[in-house]
Amino acid sequence: MNLDTLKQIVKVAKDEGVAELKVDTKDFKVEVRFSTGHVATVQHTQHVVQAAPQAMPAAVASTSTSTAKAAINSNFHIVKSPFVGTFYASPGPGKPVYTKIGDKVKIGQALCVLEAMKIMNEIDADINGEIVEICVENESLVEFDQPLFKIKPN
């Protein structure tokens, strides 16, 4: 399988709205996921190539819904995801969570870990305050600029 054929397969899958595609031949193993972006993995004998995840555009909310949410969120500071990745509430399996609702946090305090391309990145509080909402579930995929925490400033 050559690169042009691979590009055609990925394009057709993406254009048709396929969430996941796997092709396994003697020389290649290809996996493509489009649900929150895409990750393409190609294995040719011993070489592995990975494409970085790309964020999909977010849906646009109606004006009245946006206005209502803005009024509710205006009293809180929102900590948003700086990139696409996997959200972890604790530093590791079986370890206590970094924060929970009602916890007081200080600037620089770790709130969670986001994993992107096998790299763990701590996300720190950028304001002093109280956690009023954790907007995502543990081990869930998050998009760029997606709200992670709502903090009531002190």
pLDDT bracket for residue 135 (50, 70, 90): very high
Q: What is the pLDDT of residues 34-64, one digit of tens each?
A: 654 444 444 444 344 444 444 444 444 344 4
Top CATH class of 75-153 equals mainly beta
Three-class DSSP labels, the chain: CCHHHHHHHHHHHHHCCCCEEEEECCCEEEEEECCCCCEEEEEECCEEEECCCCCCCCCCCCHHHHHHHHHHHCCCEEEECCCCEEEECCCCCCCCCCCCCCCEECCCCEEEEEEECCEEEEEECCCCEEEEEECCCCCCEECCCCEEEEEEEC
Count of other CB atoms within 10 angstroms of residue 148 = 19
Q: Are 71 and 83 in contact (CB under 8 A)?
A: no
Give the tens place of pLDDT for each residue, 10-33.
777 777 666 677 777 766 677 776
pTM of the model: 0.54
Q: Where are the domains of the chain?
A: 3-50, 75-153
For 32, 42, 61, 133, 137, the CA distances from 90, given in Å and listed in that order, are 29, 31, 31, 16, 12
Report pLDDT for 34: 61
